[in-house]
């Protein structure tokens, strides 16, 4: 079984749900507590053993490339001022030389198209795919759980989490035949099932492990929902010939691409930090009256 070494992070979306914040600033660079959303996701990938991160970018996204580069001036200033803790933090969170790649999607034709743009950099290897606007807050980095599951199942894996029954029509939903196992074979996937027809309440959370065969399917994938090239459509075809397993995430998932999801993430991440939680709780309490 080939090891998962690389992760794809598609960051070429327009972020229309978060206008006007995203006029010139990518939504992935909005800050949750003290680091950009995308830094949280890169940290998750690296903690799971990912060695190389491929960013699929678009217009206005240069700031992401700069964020993951070394900042010599800043490092020198921190060193001069004896701010060794801050310096250590910067160094530990910056991927090493050659450990990142950036490719342009050129036009936001959909998530499936963005993933396909990474094909040459990924090559003939299975890879992780992390949607960088989806944050997973749990006891352990979720991708690490998925890697562990992959070492047992091989094939393709999709991260899922339970959502309210009344909201299943907003998500990609998987059917695992009523199994309560953390890792279970997927029988069916449906994208945004009409109300009352969802086979379960397990929604796709934005974490995947995929075989490179997906690229051949994406190459000829026709436009689907919303006129976009949809990843789910190619996964449905791939599921006819390769196994797909769901891995359940037991923590909390935040869609930071939506205003409320972003605010909720900030509250939850602040409350999960020992250095911030006590003072932050007092501030929130004061606001609630």
Q: Which residues bind ligand UTP (CB under 6 A)?
A: 10-18, 56, 105, 108-111, 113-114, 131-133, 257
DSSP strand pairing (52-57 vs 100-104): parallel
- Give the residue with the Cβ less far from ligand UTP, 26 or 141: 26
Residue 52 and residue 149: Cα distance in Å, rounded? 20
Q: Closest distance between ligand UTP and the C-beta of residue 256, in Å?
A: 9
- Give the residue with the Cβ less far from ligand UTP, 55 or 249: 55
Q: Closest distance between ligand UTP and the C-beta of residue 6, in Å?
A: 17
The CB-nearest residue to ligand UTP is: 13
Listing DSSP states for the chain in one string gives -----EEEEE-----GGGTTTTTTS-GGGSEETTEEHHHHHHHHHHHTT--EEEEEE-TT-HHHHHHTS--HHHHHHHHHTT-HHHHHHHHHHSPPTTSEEEEE-SS---HHHHHHTTHHHH-SS-EEEE-TTEEEESSS-HHHHHHHHHHHH-SEEEEEEE--GGGGGGSEEEE-TT---SEEE--EEEESPPTT--S-SEEEEEEEEE-THHHHHHHTPPP-GGGS--HHHHHHHHTTTS-EEEEE--SEEEETTSHHHHHHHHHHHHHT-TTTHHHHHHHHHHHH-
Closest to 41 measured CA to CA, from 89, 15, 8, 83: 8
- Give the residue with the Cβ less far from ligand UTP, 18 or 269: 18
- Give the residue with the Cβ less far from ligand UTP, 4 or 130: 130
- Give the residue with the Cβ less far from ligand UTP, 22 or 211: 22
User: Is the CB of residue 146 less than 8 Å from the CB of residue 159?
Assistant: yes
Q: Closest distance between ligand UTP and the C-beta of residue 180, in Å?
A: 29
DSSP strand pairing (134-137 vs 31-32): unpaired
- Give the residue with the Cβ less far from ligand UTP, 10 or 126: 10
Residue 235 and residue 279: Cα distance in Å, rounded? 45
- Give the residue with the Cβ less far from ligand UTP, 4 or 114: 114
Q: Closest distance between ligand UTP and the C-beta of residue 194, in Å?
A: 20
- Give the residue with the Cβ less far from ligand UTP, 135 or 190: 135
Q: Closest distance between ligand UTP and the C-beta of residue 155, in Å?
A: 23
Q: Closest distance between ligand UTP and the C-beta of residue 94, in Å?
A: 21
Q: Closest distance between ligand UTP and the C-beta of residue 130, in Å?
A: 9
Q: Closest distance between ligand UTP and the C-beta of residue 45, in Å?
A: 14
């Amino acid at each position: 079984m080939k090891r998962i070494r690389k992760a794809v992070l598609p960051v070429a979306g327009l972020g229309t749900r978060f206008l006007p914040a995203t006029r010139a600033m990518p939504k992935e660079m909005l800050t949750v507590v003290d680091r950009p959303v995308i830094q949280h996701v890169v940290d998750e990938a690296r903690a799971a053993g990912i060695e190389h991160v491929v960013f699929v970018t678009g217009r206005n996204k240069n700031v992401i490339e700069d964020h993951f580069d070394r900042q010599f001036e800043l490092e020198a200033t921190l060193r001069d001022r004896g701010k060794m803790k801050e310096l250590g933090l910067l160094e530990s969170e910056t991927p090493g030389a050659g450990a990142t790649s950036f490719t342009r999607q050129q036009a936001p034709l959909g998530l499936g198209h963005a993933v396909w743009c990474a094909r040459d950099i990924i090559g003939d290897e299975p890879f992780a795919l992390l949607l960088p606007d989806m944050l997973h807050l749990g006891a352990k980095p979720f991708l690490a759980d998925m890697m562990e599951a992959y070492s047992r199942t091989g094939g393709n894996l999709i991260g899922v989490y339970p959502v309210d029954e009344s909201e299943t029509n907003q998500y990609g939903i998987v059917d695992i035949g009523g199994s309560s196992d953390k890792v279970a074979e997927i029988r069916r996937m449906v994208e945004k099932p009409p109300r009352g027809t969802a086979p379960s309440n397990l929604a796709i959370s934005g974490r995947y492990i995929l075989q490179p065969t997906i690229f051949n399917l994406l190459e000829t994938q026709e436009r689907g929902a919303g006129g976009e090239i949809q990843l789910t459509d190619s996964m449905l075809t791939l599921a006819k010939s390769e196994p797909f397993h769901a891995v359940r995430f037991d923590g909390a998932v935040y869609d930071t691409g939506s205003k409320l999801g972003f605010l909720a993430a900030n509250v939850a991440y602040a409350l999960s930090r020992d250095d911030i939680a006590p003072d932050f709780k007092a501030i929130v309490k004061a606001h609630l009256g």
